[in-house]
Every structure is written in C-alpha cells, then in structure tokens.
C-alpha cells in the first residue's frame, strides 16, 4: 500500500496566497503612514506650574502667598488667570506678554506696590482687569498704557493717592475705569491724557485739588462724575482739553470759589450738571458757544454769595432748587442767574434767617420780611447794625441833657 501523498500546490492556490500577502502588506504600510508616533500624555498637556491649580487648559488659579512672580510655565492658551494673594510686589513691563490669549486677569489682595510702564502690553484680547485690596499707592505714568477694547479696569479699595501723567495713554474703548475707595486727594495735570472713548470713570470721594488741565487729552467719555469733593476752589482751566463728554457731573461737594475760566476749553458736552453742592462764591460762570454744551443744570446748590457774572450760551438751561442770598427790597430778577421766568418761584433764600427757605419771589416782594434781621448778607448786616447804634447814641444824649437839667434845678 502506497503512503498518502502531500497536498499538491496548484497554480491557482499559489496565486491566491501571493495576492493575500501583498494585500496585507499594503494595509500595514497605510496604517503605519497615518498613525502618528506614540507620544506620552504628559508631553501633550504642559505641567501645571508650582503653587498653581489648573482647572483646565484655559483656567488657572495661582492664589498662593509663596508665589513671588508671574509663573513662566503657563500654557499660552490660558484665558483666565488669578494671582490673588500672591506675593507679587512689582509688576514689570510686558509681564504677561507670553499669554496673548488672556481675557480675564485678577491681581486682588496681592502685595503689589508698583506697576511698571506697559506692564499689560501684548494682551490684545484682555477684557477684565482687577487690582483690588492691595498696597498700591501710585499709578505710574504709562502703567495701564496700550490696552485696547478692554471692558473694565477695576482699581478699587487700594491705597492709591496719586495718578501720574499719561497713566492710561494709548488705551482706548473701555467701558469702565473704577478708582473708588482710594485716598486720592489730588488729580495731577494730564492724569488721563491719551485715554479715548471711555464709558465711565468713577473717582473716589474726598478729592481736594484738581489741577488745571487734569483732564486734558481725555477724548470721548460717556460719564465723568465728581462727587463728595472738598475743594477750596475750582481753578481756571480745570476742564481744559476735555472733549466729547456725555455727562459731566459735579455733585454733593464743597466747590469753594468757582474761579474765572473754570470751564474754559471744555468742548462738546451733552449735559453739564452742578447739583447739590455748597458754593462759597462764583466769580464767573461762563459757557459760550465754543464749549458746545447742550444742557446745563444748576440745581439744589447752596450759594453763600450770588454770582458776580454769568454767561450761558447753552441750548437748554435748568436753574431750580438753589438757595441764594436774599437782599431786602431787591428784585430777584436782577440776579445774574435769573434767566427764566420761573427763576424767582423755583429758587429759595438761604439768608437772612427770617426768610430762609422761602422762595425768592415771596421773600423779596417786600422789605418787611427781612427788616432788622442780622443774619443775612454783609450789606444787610451792615444796614441792620447801623440803625440800633444811632438809636442808642441818641438816647444817651437825651439822658445826659435830662441829668443836666435836674442838677441845675437842685442847685437853684
């Protein structure tokens, strides 16, 4: 019996085997061409810097007192960064230039004492900047320069006492700059120069001096409100160079003496308000056509002296609720502020005491209301003081003559 023969390799089987091998080889080559080389996960995700917590690739929190500077190992994709409570004392120029995607930056409660010029340069997408509750005492020149399209710069509850010239130069299109709750006593010349198109600037209370041209170079602001100030005077050229203002408001303040030329150089104002202030005197209140003020409101003020000169070339004038000195028998329409028919009915007496609170019209309709009152104007007090002195002197002369007659009679 013959042993079984090995299977025969037919021509067709050989061809099928070759085709299958070639096909598998091609598939393997294609898979190798389209598969990236293996890379460990740690190299795809940059390590989170020391003393920081990376909530995601875009959100990083570095709220550690052990942090002495801006971390250099942050991913360029970070959009929200908090360095609150860090021991960050000096912020150098271009400190965040490696984070061009940054949109929100918080530096609250850190030990910041100095911001170098152009510290925030290179942040084209920054929208919110918060620096609060720090020992920062001075805003250096160009500290907040070259910021574009930012929504808000919040600098509240610091120790800022001074804003140097051109601190915000080259910064445009901001909704809000807030400086509330800072011990700022003096606004220096050109403090806001180079700042354009701002929605609102909030200044703190207690300002005692505004230098001439302090707002020069500030072009385009929606609201500039100056409240709760304690000024000895409003100086000439205080608002010179301030252009394109939606509303300029001076309210709830002691303005002292409003000097000649205080509003010179102020241009293109929609509304100028002087409301609820104490005013010692007005040397001149002048708003001419070059100021281009559309609405002027003078309301609720207490004036110790009537204005010396008033020139108001304004489209719409509102003067009401003010308290002014009343002089006995004087027509209230001789007051330089009497620019409307309702002036005497809508404004009130601050002196003399007997007519205080009464409308100008009722208090000055006759002199009986303030006759003999010594609490009014200097002129009224002088008139009131002269009468009694003459009466006492005449009585003394009469008594002396009577005594002489009695002595003569007794001697006889």
**pLDDT digits over 170-222, tens only?**
999 999 999 999 999 999 999 999 999 999 999 999 999 999 999 999 999 99
Note the Cα 263 to chain centre separation in Å.
19
Report if residue 371 sits inside a domain: yes
State how far the Cα of 352 lies from the Cα of 363, in Å rounded to an integer: 10
pLDDT given at position 69: 87
Q: Is 239 exposed, middle or buried (0-12, 13-18, 19+ CB in 10 A)?
A: buried
pLDDT given at position 330: 80
Which helix (H) or strand (E) is 31 found in, with range? helix 11-34
Beta 278-282 vs 254-258: how paired, if at all? Answer: parallel
Query: Above 80 in pLDDT, residue 395?
Result: no
Report if residue 348 sits inside a domain: yes
Report if residue 359 sits inside a domain: yes
Structure tokens, 350: 């601050």
State how far the Cα of 299 lies from the Cα of 310, in Å rounded to an integer: 15
Report if residue 40 sits inside a domain: no
pLDDT digits over 121-146, tens only?
999 999 999 999 999 999 999 999 99
When divided into structural domains, the chain yields a total of 1
Long-range contacts of 380-386 (CB under 8 A, 24+ apart): 380/327, 380/328, 380/351, 380/352, 383/328
Where is average pLDDT lowest: 255-259, 275-279, 393-397? Answer: 393-397
Predicted confidence band of residue 406 (pLDDT cuts 50, 70, 90): very low
Containing structural domain, residue 375: 330-386
Residues in contact with 371: Cβ distance below 8 Å, sequence separation at least 6, in sequence order = 328
φ, ψ (nearest 5 deg) of residue 96: -120, 20
State how far the Cα of 323 lies from the Cα of 328, in Å rounded to an integer: 16
Predicted confidence band of residue 17 (pLDDT cuts 50, 70, 90): low
pLDDT given at position 310: 95
Report which of 38, 43, 44, 64 is spatially closest to residue 53, judged by C-alpha positions.
64
Report if residue 376 sits inside a domain: yes
Report if residue 340 sits inside a domain: yes
pLDDT digits over 304-351, tens only?
999 999 999 999 999 999 999 997 778 889 999 999 999 999 999 998
Report if residue 372 sits inside a domain: yes
């Amino acid at each position: 019996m013959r042993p079984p023969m090995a299977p025969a390799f037919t021509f067709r089987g050989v061809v099928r085997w070759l085709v299958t091998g070639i096909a598998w080889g091609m598939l393997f080559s294609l898979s190798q061409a389209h598969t990236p080389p293996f890379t460990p996960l740690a190299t795809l995700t940059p390590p989170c810097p020391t003393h920081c917590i990376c909530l995601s690739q875009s959100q990083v929190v570095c709220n550690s007192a052990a942090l002495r500077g801006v971390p250099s190992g942050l991913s360029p994709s970070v959009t929200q960064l908090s360095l609150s409570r860090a021991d960050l004392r000096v912020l150098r120029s271009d400190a965040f230039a490696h984070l061009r995607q940054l949109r929100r930056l918080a530096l609250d409660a850190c030990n910041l004492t100095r911001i170098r010029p152009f510290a925030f340069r290179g942040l084209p997408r920054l929208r919110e900047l918060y620096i609060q509750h720090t020992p920062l005492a001075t805003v250096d020149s160009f500290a907040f320069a070259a910021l574009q399209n930012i929504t808000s710069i919040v600098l509240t509850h610091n120790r800022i006492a001074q804003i140097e010239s051109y601190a915000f130069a080259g910064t445009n299109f901001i909704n809000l700059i807030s400086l509330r709750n800072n011990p700022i006593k003096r606004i220096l010349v050109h403090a806001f120069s180079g700042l354009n198109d701002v929605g609102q600037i909030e200044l703190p209370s207690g300002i005692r001096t505004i230098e001439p041209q302090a707002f020069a170079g500030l072009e385009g602001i929606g609201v500039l409100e100056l409240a709760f100030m304690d000024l000895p005077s409003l100086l000439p050229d205080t608002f010179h160079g301030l252009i394109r203002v939606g509303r300029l408001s001076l309210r709830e303040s002691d303005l002292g003496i409003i000097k000649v030329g205080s509003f010179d150089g102020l241009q293109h104002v929609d509304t100028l308000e002087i409301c609820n202030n104490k005013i010692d005197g007005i040397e001149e209140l002048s708003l001419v056509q070059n100021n281009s003020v559309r609405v002027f409101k003078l309301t609720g003020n207490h004036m110790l002296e009537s204005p010396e000169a008033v020139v108001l070339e304004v489209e719409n004038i509102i003067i009401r609720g003010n308290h002014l000195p009343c002089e006995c028998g004087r027509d209230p329409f001789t007051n330089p502020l009497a620019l409307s028919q309702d002036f005497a009915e809508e404004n009130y007496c601050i002196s003399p005491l007997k007519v205080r609170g009464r409308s100008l019209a009722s208090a000055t309709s006759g002199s009986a209301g303030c006759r003999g009152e010594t609490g009014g104007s200097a002129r009224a007090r002088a008139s009131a003081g002269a009468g009694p002195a003459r009466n006492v002197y005449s009585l003394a002369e009469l008594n002396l003559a009577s005594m002489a007659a009695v002595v003569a009679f007794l001697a006889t």
